[in-house]
């Protein structure tokens, strides 16, 4: 693994990317993602409003309708997981039945609401990660993470290695998805069951990934040299914390 600095001289000025409302500083954007995740985990249903508003404003300010289509595609890939949440909460959480005539076979109304809430929280987190990765790009995310984690270098934490492996793992997801779809489309006519076929596909993908990792050259990631974020940009995560607190207290 190689980290390549496109600005090794450390010069300042026009060569460094400028920050704007349309594109937060990567370090600030990572903190915003952490605030959204913490707010959704702690605030529950009350956190849906500030979380949804923040991600919607961020994606809208970034522009490009293609990003919305990519986000919708990412959410649709999780549709079976969302359906399992509705089934799990709807049929296994006690509460008044949605259809009283069905008796015990009916899902509970409170369970469906709870399952829908969890699905909505996950959709917002998927959208928040999509906003970060598509607006910033993996290289700028690395730069932001390194800036945030730089104090840990003093205690011996390999910050560069951690951030590089994290982003390379994120990069590998689309390739794994393509390999899985290609392997899954192959039918050898054995008539095996669905679970055995899935296990066989998973084995093929695993061996193909290991083989590719053994033969691939060391990846190179260009990490931009960024100036520190301006003070006003830190007002964005601070204001978001206040918004989550107001929303949670308003409901309670």
The torsion angles phi and psi of 75, rounded to 5 degrees, stand at: -65, -40
| Predicted local confidence at residue 135, as pLDDT | 85
Residue 158 confidence (pLDDT) above 70: yes
Q: Could you read off the pLDDT of 99-141 as tens digits, one per residue?
A: 888 887 888 988 899 888 888 988 999 899 888 888 888 788 8
Global model pTM greater than 0.85? no
Q: How many CB atoms lie within 10 A of CB 36?
A: 27
pLDDT tens, 209-242?
A: 656 555 556 566 677 778 888 888 999 999 999 9
Phi, psi (degrees; rounded to nearest 5) at 9: -75, -15
Structure tokens at 242: 């206040």
Indicate if the pLDDT at residue 7 is higher than 60. no
Angle of helix 48-62 relative to helix 235-251, nearest 10 degrees, comes to: 150
As given in the structure block, the two tokens for residue 213 are 């990792």
CA 166 to chain centroid = 12
pLDDT band at 80 (very low <50, low <70, confident <90, very high): confident
Is residue 21 a contact partner of residue 61, using CB atoms and an 8 Å limit?
A: yes
Least confident of 44-53, 68-77, 149-158, 171-180: 171-180
Mean pLDDT in the chain?
76
Q: What is the pLDDT of residues 22-76, one digit of tens each?
A: 578 999 999 999 999 999 888 878 889 999 999 988 888 877 666 778 888 888 8
Cβ within 8 Å of residue 3, ≥6 positions away: 160, 164, 220, 221, 223
What is the arithmetic mean of pLDDT over 202-214?
62
Instruction: Using the CB atoms, write b or e for 160-182: b if 16+ within 10 Å.
Output: beebbeebeeeeeeeeeeebbee
47 contact partners, CB below 8 Å, separation of at least 6: 39, 40, 121, 244, 247, 248
Write down the pLDDT at residue 237: 93
* Mean pLDDT of the region 83-87: 88
The pLDDT of residue 238: 94
Higher per-residue pLDDT: 204 or 92: 92
Q: Is the pLDDT of residue 3 over 80?
A: no
Q: What is residue 38's predicted lDDT score, i.e. its pLDDT?
A: 92
> What integer pLDDT is reported at residue 74 of this predicted model?
82
Would you call 46 exposed, middle or buried from its count of C-beta atoms within 10 A (0-12, 13-18, 19+)? buried
Instruction: Give dist(CA 146, CA 93) in Å, integer.
Output: 43
Q: Identify the residue whose tokens are 């083989």.
A: 211
């Amino acid at each position: 693994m190689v980290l390549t600095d496109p600005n090794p001289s450390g010069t300042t000025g026009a060569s460094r990317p400028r920050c704007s409302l349309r594109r937060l500083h990567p370090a600030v954007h990572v903190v915003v993602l952490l605030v959204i995740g913490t707010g959704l985990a702690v605030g529950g249903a009350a956190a849906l409003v500030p979380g949804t508003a923040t991600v919607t404003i961020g994606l809208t300010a970034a522009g490009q309708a293609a990003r919305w289509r990519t986000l919708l595609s990412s959410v649709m890939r999780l549709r079976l997981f969302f359906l399992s949440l509705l089934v799990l909460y709807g049929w296994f959480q006690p509460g008044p039945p949605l259809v009283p005539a069905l008796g015990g076979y009916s899902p509970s109304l409170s369970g469906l609401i709870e399952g829908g809430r969890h699905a909505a929280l996950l959709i917002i987190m998927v959208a928040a990660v999509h906003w970060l990765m598509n607006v910033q790009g993996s290289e700028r995310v690395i730069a932001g993470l390194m800036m945030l984690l730089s104090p840990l270098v003093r205690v011996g934490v390999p910050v560069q290695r951690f951030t590089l492996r994290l982003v390379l793992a994120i990069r590998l997801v689309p390739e794994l998805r393509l390999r899985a779809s290609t392997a899954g489309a192959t039918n050898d006519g054995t008539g095996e069951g669905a679970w055995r076929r899935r296990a066989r596909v998973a084995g093929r993908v695993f061996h193909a990934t290991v083989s590719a990792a053994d033969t691939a050259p060391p990846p190179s990631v260009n990490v931009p040299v960024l100036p520190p974020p301006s003070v006003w940009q830190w007002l964005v995560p601070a204001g978001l914390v206040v918004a989550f607190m107001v929303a949670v207290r308003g409901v309670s």
